Amino acid sequence: MKVVGYVRVSTQDQAEGGISLAAQRQKLEQYAELFELDLVAIVEDAGASAKSLQRDGLQHALSLLDNREAEGLLVAKLDRLTRSVKDLGTLLDSHFRGDFSLLSVADKIDTSTAAGRLVLNVLASVSEWEREAIGERTSAALRHKQSQGEHVGSPALGQDMKNGVLVDNPDEASVLDRIAELRKEGLTYRAISDALTEEGHRTKRGGNWNPGTVQRYVKRMGA
């Protein structure tokens, strides 16, 4: 069988734990050699999220199937392809219920068989359930912190977080004073943002000011 390999990482920190692009490539090559598959190409998506199927590498790999240059898609693990049951169903309906096969090394899946398709659907459902459960636990933990009076999220301009407690940042507080001063002079948000940038002041993240950011701080201060 001619197959096209597909590898993906979403962020640089995923280069660890055996899911780097190089590690995935090696697994695909070893699998293809073991099962005597003709690996015609390995397509990659570096720094791409699995939240959408609209990835350049994935779309190219699927086009190789559509053009009959390969008969199957080979991945190191199912989550390299997608983490969504909905997107998985889309792929199954569009490509892997008929002429083409989907093969996953780690999950031992081959959709050329009915059993392989069943296992694939079960694994995808469990994966989505796990992700949603983690999200629910995280939300519950944040709500608990808020109920205890703890700050949740990044500190705003004029404050820093130390040992879980918000403390004043005098240097940044002076920028807030400058915003209030310029606003009292009747300057527009655009004029204030231009003035702050010209004076060398930076936002909390170190960037230049824009009218929207100025407006948020003005409303927060009630200036």
Q: Is residue 137 part of a domain?
A: no
Q: Are residues 8 and 57 in the same domain?
A: yes
Residues 63 and 128 grouped into a single domain: yes
Greatest mean pLDDT among 23-37, 111-125, 154-168 lies in 23-37
Strands 72-75 and 2-9, how do they pair? parallel
Q: Per residue in 56-109, pLDDT tens?
A: 999 999 999 999 999 999 999 988 998 887 788 888 888 987 789 999 999 888
Show the DSSP H helices in 51-188 as ranges.
56-66, 85-91, 114-147, 170-184
Q: Which of 10, 20, 94, 112 is catalytic?
A: 10
Are residues 38 and 123 located together in one domain of the fold? yes
Q: Are residues 17 and 113 in the same domain?
A: yes
| Domain boundary residue, one of 81, 114, 132 | 132
Report the amino acid identity of residue 158: G
Burial 12-45 (b: 16+ CB within 10 A, else e): eeeeeeebebebbbebbeebbeeeebebeebbbb
Residue 61 lies in a domain: yes
In a domain, residue 68? The reply is yes
Decide if 35 is inside a domain: yes
Domain limit, last residue, from 76, 97, 132: 132
Asked if 101 contacts 38 with a C-beta cutoff of 8 angstroms, the reply is no
Tell me the range of 96-100, 118-122, 141-145 where mean pLDDT is highest. 96-100
User: Strand 2-9 and strand 38-46: pairing?
Assistant: parallel
Q: Tell me if 43 sits within 8 A of 57, measured CB to CB.
A: yes
Give the amino acid at 217.
Y
Distance between CA atoms of residues 182 and 187, nearest Å: 6
Shared domain for 122 and 18, answered yes or no, is: yes
Q: Are 11 and 115 in a shared domain?
A: yes
- pLDDT value at position 152? 52
Exposed/middle/buried for residue 137 (C-beta within 10 Å: 0-12, 13-18, 19+): exposed
In a domain, 215, yes or no: yes
CATH number at residue 11: 3.40.50.1390
Among 150, 154, 167, 153, CA closest to 203: 154
pLDDT for 212 beyond 90: no
**Does 111 share its domain with 172?**
no
The pLDDT, as a whole number, for residue 150 is 57
Among 28-37, 112-121, 150-159, the range with the most confident prediction by mean pLDDT is 28-37
Q: Note the pLDDT tens digit of each residue in 186-210.
A: 999 999 999 998 998 888 877 888 8
Within-domain flag for 143: no
**Residue range of the domain that includes 163:** 159-221
175-185: pLDDT as tens digits: 889 999 999 99
Q: Is residue 92 part of a domain?
A: yes
Which residue has better confidence, 223 or 191? 191
Asked if pLDDT for residue 5 goes beyond 50, the answer is yes
Q: What is the pLDDT of residue 13?
A: 45
Cα angle vertex 117, ends 74, 19, to 5°? 35
Residue 152 included in any domain: no
Query: Is 10 a known active-site residue?
Result: yes
Mean pLDDT of 154-178: 78
pLDDT given at position 56: 93
177 in the same domain as 87:
no
The number of domains in the chain is 2
For residue 5, give the 3-state DSSP assignment: strand
Same domain, yes or no: 179 and 89:
no
Residue 192, classed as helix, strand or coil, is: helix
- CA–CA distance, 64 with 71 (Å, rounded to integer): 9
Are 128 and 184 in the same domain? no
Claim to verify: residue 105 and residue 18 sit in the same structural domain: yes
Question: What pLDDT, on a 0 to 100 scale, did the predictor assign at position 209?
Answer: 87
The pLDDT tens digits of the residues spanning 13-64 come to 454 555 788 899 999 999 999 999 999 999 999 888 888 899 999 999 999 9
The pair phi, psi for residue 74, each rounded to 5°, is: -115, 125
Q: Which tokens go with 202?
A: 């930076």
Of residues 5 and 145, more confidence is placed in 5
Residues 23 and 101 in one domain: yes
